[in-house]
Structure formats: structure tokens, C-alpha cells
Amino acid sequence: MQTQLKDRKNANAIRILAMDAVQNANSGHPGAPMGMADIAEVVWREFLRHNPKNAKWANRDRFVLSNGHGSMLLYALLHLTGYDLTLDDIKNFRKLHSKTAGHPEFGYADGIETTTGPLGQGIANAVGFALAEKTLAAQFNKADNAIIDHYTYCFLGDGCLMEGVSHEACSLAGTLGLGKLIVYYDDNGISIDGEVEGWFSDDTAKRFESYNWQVLSVDGHDSEQIRKATEAAKAETKKPTLIICKTVIGLGSPNKQGKEDCHGAPLGVDEIALTRAELGWESSEPFFVPDEIYKAWDCTDKGASEENAWNAQFADYQAKYPTEAAELLRRLAGELPSDFDKVADEFIKSCQDKGESIATRKASQNAIAAFAPQLPEILGGSADLAGSNLTLWKDAKGVQNHADGNYVHYGVREFGMTAIANGVALHGGFIPYTATFLMFMEYARNAVRMSALMKQRVINVYTHDSIGLGEDGPTHQPVEQVASLRNTPNHFTWRPCDTVETAAAWKVALKTQTAPTSLILSRQNLAHQARTAEQIADIEKGAYVLAREQGELNAIIIATGSEVELAMNAYNTLTEQGAGVRVVSMPCAEIFVKQERAYIESVLPSHVRARVAVEAGITDYWYKFVGLDGKIIGMTTFGESAPAKELFAHFGITTEAVVEAVKSLI
């Protein structure tokens, strides 16, 4: 092993940079980069098509490090192959404002395709990349020009495979036959707590074979075996491939390799010196890499040549298929058609003119059906329940049966669905939406957070939004979920009250390029509200005056969703009794608070302290709008099992309660 290690100078450069950076930061995980260095060398130097000088080249292969705690593996690869990641960046590993954060963070440095913090989500993102590649290729490739043709390579570890989200995503990947997804499993048998056989005894090969994957096994330190397995993976076009790589964690460290000691802690100065000797490294200087090794790793010329070849291919495509080429460029740029606003506004106006009193889940389906013909980049899907959350529309085509389709039947996989959608968004060319009951958002919660963190345009359709769900009972009745979503940074939560607000919410969600949106929709029918053209335009500001006071303003009622109808009924009663009350519909509080101060003041005048908020969810969120002097009508407990009307009466979310609350304040 010693002679073999000394001969692996290119891979050893990864080991040197990883252990030095972790030691310098006094924090990190050196074991995985050192153990996977041989796999990484083969994949990155021989197979991965990428251009370090243009990290966003459309037809590049995607690389995902799902075991993101081993981030120094990726940083070393980016640095060595010629990306804009300097040795100083490596030295700043885990330091404030550095490109080299503790886990790879999307947007921090070129070449980082996704943020893989929580284990398991990286492989789910990779499934999303592969799904996007296959679908985009089917939509745009021609018999004489396969303009979209690339692979997704993913590294993962034991922790990723223990997390349930990997089961969800990999099961679906096999069902969909994502043959251009190649995954390398770092089978080192070690986690932070020690040898995993005491808590992870799965037969991983059989598991993935049952998922309809090709499964191969190699010595993760034998370059020829890794090379042949990768070639076999590329030859299998109907199934994704898992390559099980038996490795030694921390390989090269004489006293810590193969042990949990090197998993999540620096090796220590003395052990690093011993490791340098074990590797036959020519210098004791930290971070030193010889020029000949940099030259061996440099992929800039190769990458530029590969991209130039594709650019020539695209020029030919553009000449023969100008319409498709223009559409592909538009979609890859994330831009909406130039007439989108016009089409959307006409649809919103038609909703106002029709005045339908329907469930907002049905209003959402109508909006999807109206926008989808103009937006072929929409790639929707639901975690089962499509007939309940109404996310299928007449012209939807499932990708299971139509490779060029626009709808994914995700099955009961809420977490996997959302993490896959993040990968689809990151790939480019699509606007993904997901769907389930609001209560089951809890399964997907961490992936929703990741789309917000990565600033991705993912739209989440969450229906059955309150105790209005009714007889299914408290396990299915969301109470605290909307407040949780609203408190997520860089995330917009819409709870519309009728068809018009629902259509406007879809319009804004589709236009929001740097944040995800959740649409919170009702099971039950909701009353249509009358509006002027000015009020319709103001919906996009997150909140607006739906009903203005008669005479002097005494009190303000703030409501969302199904409770807007209660607020309007209370308004009518109070106005008849001579009170000066206005109703503010606030479908998206997060957007409202970003408006200019003058507009906020025009909707919620600061001198009016008599304020009542009403929403069939947890009450605490609304104190920011009503203050300690105001009142909130909503939920302070979980729900119960009964018809919706009985539940609203039981929990005191009624017109009468709103009227009494206003009277008590004025």
C-alpha cells in the first residue's frame, strides 16, 4: 500500500490539501476526501466534461458531492482543475466570507452545483439533475443533433444512504430509468460514532437492484477498476448505476486511517507529518503542490475544447432549428416569454369577471391550465394526491410514459419530491412545482428550506390548508405550518382568498426567480370578492385594502385565505352599526413588508391601533401586524375531527367573534 500511495501523486494532492485545510481551520472532515481521492481523480480527470473557465456551460456534466461534510474534496478538485478557487481560498476554509464554507454552498464558488448540507439531499438533487437532463433532451434533441447530452455524477456515503430521502429519490430514479445518473458510494464502514455495522447492516447492492439500478462493486483505490466500472455505467442507458467503492477512510494517515478519529476532526500536526511521509510527499510546507501535479490536473484547455465543440454543435442546431434554439436559450436563461405579463393579467381579469366561488385548490388548477401552454418549462408533480390537490391539468403528460412530458407522478415521497425539484431548478430549463397537503409539508420541510437557501424558483402547492380540512382530524389539520413557512428567510408564502388572488399568486411565483414560493390553498369553496382594477394590481404587493371604511377609520381587520370571507361579513355588520372599519386582505405578508413605507402606511395606518387579525392557524405570527394592543382570532391548540363548519364554530373562528373583537377595541 505504501508504494502504491507514493505512486498516486495526483490523488495525493487532494489528500494533502484536505488535511492541511482542515488542520488550518481546526475544524472539518478530512477522512472522506482522503478516502475518495482515487475515485475523484478518475472521474474528474478522465470522465467529467466541464470547463473551469465557464462553470455554467449548459451541456456540462453535473457533479454532486452528497456527503457534503467532505467538502474539501470538492474544493481541492475545483482548485486543481483550474476553477476560480485559489490556494488562498483553500487556506480560508471554513472562515467567514470565504468561498470554501464548511459544506459546499451553491453560489459561493464556481463549480458548486448545489448546496449539500443535510445528508441525503445531494443524491436527491442529483436525481433532479438527471431527470431535468432526460426531459430537456427529449423536448429539444433532434435525430441529427442531440444538443442536450450530459451525465450527472454523484458521490455519497453511508450517512446519505441511512437518510430516508435517499430511499425516496433513488427508488423513483430507477422507476424513471435515469440512465445518465452515475453514483459512487464511499463504502468505508465508518461514521462519527464508529463502525457502522452496528446500526447500518443493509444489503445496499440488493436494495439498489430492487430499485432497478445497475450495481457494480470495485476497490475504491484501484483506478483501473473505477475506470472500467464508470465505462460500464455509461454503457447502461436504461438504468442509473451505483458503483459501490470499498475504501479506507483517511487513507494515508498511518494511525488514523480506517477509524472514526479522522472522520470529523483534524488529524493533528504530528499525524500530518507522518502522513506526508507515508504519501512520499516532497515538501513539509502546508498546502504545497508541485507544478507538475498542477499541470497534470489542469482541465482548462480540455474543458474549453469540449465547450467549443458543443458551441459549434449548437450553431448547427440554431441554423436548422431556429425556433427551438431560441426557446432553449430563453429557458436556460430562466426568462419568461415577453408577453407573459399580458397573458397573466388577462387571465386574472377573467377570474374577476367570472366571479366564481370555488376552492382555491381548484382555482390553482385553472391557473396552471391557463399558464402551462405558454410555459413549456413548467415541470409539475405531486406526491400522490393529484386528484385532491388538483395539480394535474387536461394537457399534462407524465414523464413516466412520455420522456418529453411535463408532469411527474412522485408517489408518496414528499421529501424526495421537493429535493428532486431543487435539482431540477438548479439544472436549468425548467420551473418545477411540487404538491401535497399542507400538513405533509412537514416531511418536505428541510428541502423547502434548502430551495430558499439556494435562491431557487421552486413552487410548492400545499392544499387542505387549515381546520377546514374537516373530518380527517388533527393529524391532518395544519395549524403551525403556515407560520413556519412565513418565518423562513427568502421564501414567499401565499394564502389567497379566491380565484383572483390565486391567479395573481401564481403569476408572482412564476416571476420570482431567486426564491421559492408556497401556495397555501383551501379544500372548501371560498366566496368571490369584488375588486376594482387598482385593487387587483395591488394584490401583487402582498396586501391591500379590500374593503374601505365608511367615514373615519376606527379599526382594521386583517385576514387571509378562507377567513377573508369572515372578515368581509364582519365588515358589513360593523359598517351597518356605524363603525369605521376596513378589511385588509394579506395573501403574502413577506412581500407586503418589502413594500415602500408609504404603501404600507396607506394600507395599515400606524395611528390605528385597533387591529384584529383572523386566520385559522397559529395566532402568534400576527402580533407583528396587530401589536400587543390588538386581537388575534385563530388557533392556539391542535384541531379536532368534525365537519369544517362545526370546527370553525367550536374554535371561535366566526364572523361573530370578529365583530366582538373589533367592538372590544373601539
Consult the annotation and say whether 388 binds a ligand.
yes
Among residues 260, 414, 501, 565, which one is catalytic? 414
586/565 Cα distance (integer angstroms)? 13
Residue 306 designated active-site:
no
4/1 Cα distance (integer angstroms)? 5
Q: Is 524 exposed, middle or buried (0-12, 13-18, 19+ CB in 10 A)?
A: middle
172/187 Cα distance (integer angstroms)? 22
Consult the annotation and say whether 634 binds a ligand.
no
Q: Show Cβ contacts of residue 158 under 8 Å, excluding neighbours closer than 6 positions.
A: 186, 187, 188, 189, 190, 191, 196, 200
Consult the annotation and say whether 79 binds a ligand.
no
What are the angstrom distances between the C-alpha of 588 and each of 251, 492, 520, 545, 620? 52, 7, 10, 13, 16
**Hey, how many other C-beta atoms are within 10 angstroms of the C-beta on 476?**
17
Consult the annotation and say whether 118 binds a ligand.
yes
Contact yes or no for 117/62 (Cβ under 8 A): no
Contact yes or no for 320/145 (Cβ under 8 A): yes
Consult the annotation and say whether 117 binds a ligand.
yes
Give the cell for residue 369: 391550465
SS3 645: helix
Consult the annotation and say whether 159 binds a ligand.
yes
Phi/psi at 415 (nearest 5 deg)? -70, -50
Consult the annotation and say whether 620 binds a ligand.
no
Consult the annotation and say whether 29 binds a ligand.
yes
Pairing mode, strands 190-191 and 194-195 = antiparallel
Phi/psi at 280 (nearest 5 deg)? 70, 30
Partnered with residue 381 across adjacent β-strands are 408
Beta strands in 162-271 (DSSP E): 181-187, 190-191, 194-195, 214-219, 241-246
Consult the annotation and say whether 440 binds a ligand.
yes
What is the distance between the terminal CA atoms of the chain, rounded to a whole angstrom?
83
SS3 546: strand
Residues across the chain: 666
Q: Show Cβ contacts of residue 392 under 8 Å, excluding neighbours closer than 6 positions.
A: 365, 380, 382, 386, 407
Partnered with residue 217 across adjacent β-strands are 244
Consult the annotation and say whether 45 binds a ligand.
no
Give the cell for residue 610: 385597533
Give the cell for residue 325: 434554439
Q: What is the DSSP string of 327-389?
A: HHHHHHTTPPPTTHHHHHHHHHHHHHHHT---BHHHHHHHHHHHHTTT-TTEEEEESS-HHHH
Consult the annotation and say whether 376 binds a ligand.
no
Consult the annotation and say whether 523 binds a ligand.
yes
Consult the annotation and say whether 476 binds a ligand.
yes
Q: What is the DSSP string of 372-420?
A: TTT-TTEEEEESS-HHHHT---TT--BTTT-TT-SEEE--S-HHHHHHH
Q: DSSP state, 281?
A: -
Consult the annotation and say whether 193 binds a ligand.
no
Phi/psi at 43 (nearest 5 deg)? -65, -50
Consult the annotation and say whether 472 binds a ligand.
yes
Pure H helices in 522-596:
533-538, 563-576, 589-592
Report long-range pairs for 399-407 (Cβ below 8 Å, ≥24 apart): 399/131, 399/134, 399/135, 399/176, 400/175, 400/176, 402/138, 403/134, 403/135, 403/137, 403/138, 404/135, 404/138, 404/139, 405/135, 406/372, 406/376, 406/378, 406/379, 406/380, 407/379, 407/380, 407/381
Consult the annotation and say whether 94 binds a ligand.
no
Binding residues for substrate: 29, 263, 361, 388, 464, 472, 476, 523
Binding residues: 29, 69, 117-119, 158-159, 188, 190, 263, 361, 388, 440, 464, 472, 476, 523
Binding residues for thiamine diphosphate: 69, 117-119, 159, 188, 263, 440
Binding residues for Mg(2+): 158, 188, 190
Q: Which residues belong to the active site?
A: 414
